[in-house]
Amino acid sequence: MGVKQKGLIQKLQVTQNDGLHKIARVFKTTPVEPLHNLIGVLPISYVLNKLKHSYSLKLQGMAPNAKT
């Protein structure tokens, strides 16, 4: 993962954290990790890894001559 991708993931995580604070109606100083557990939302890095893994499994199951 490149430096630019890490920066984009960090921006997405900050945005998700802001949204979680608004959804839960808690103070901005509330720690994020317990908030993820309370609401049941995975951090962005886990979601992106899960999407990447499921897409690679999908590609492996396709016929070699199939168009993506």
For residue range 8-55, what is the model confidence (pLDDT) as tens digits? 999 999 999 999 999 999 999 999 999 999 999 999 999 999 999 999
Question: Residue 5: what pLDDT?
Answer: 86
Q: Any idea what DSSP says for residue 41?
A: -
Cα distances from 12 to residues 16, 43, 44, 61, 64, in angstroms, run 6, 10, 7, 30, 34
Q: How much is the CA Rg of the chain, to the nearest whole Å?
A: 16
Strands (E), 1-68: none
pLDDT greater than 70 at residue 67: no
Structure-block tokens of residue 8: 């984009």
Label residue 65 by pLDDT band (50, 70, 90). confident
Entry pTM? 0.76
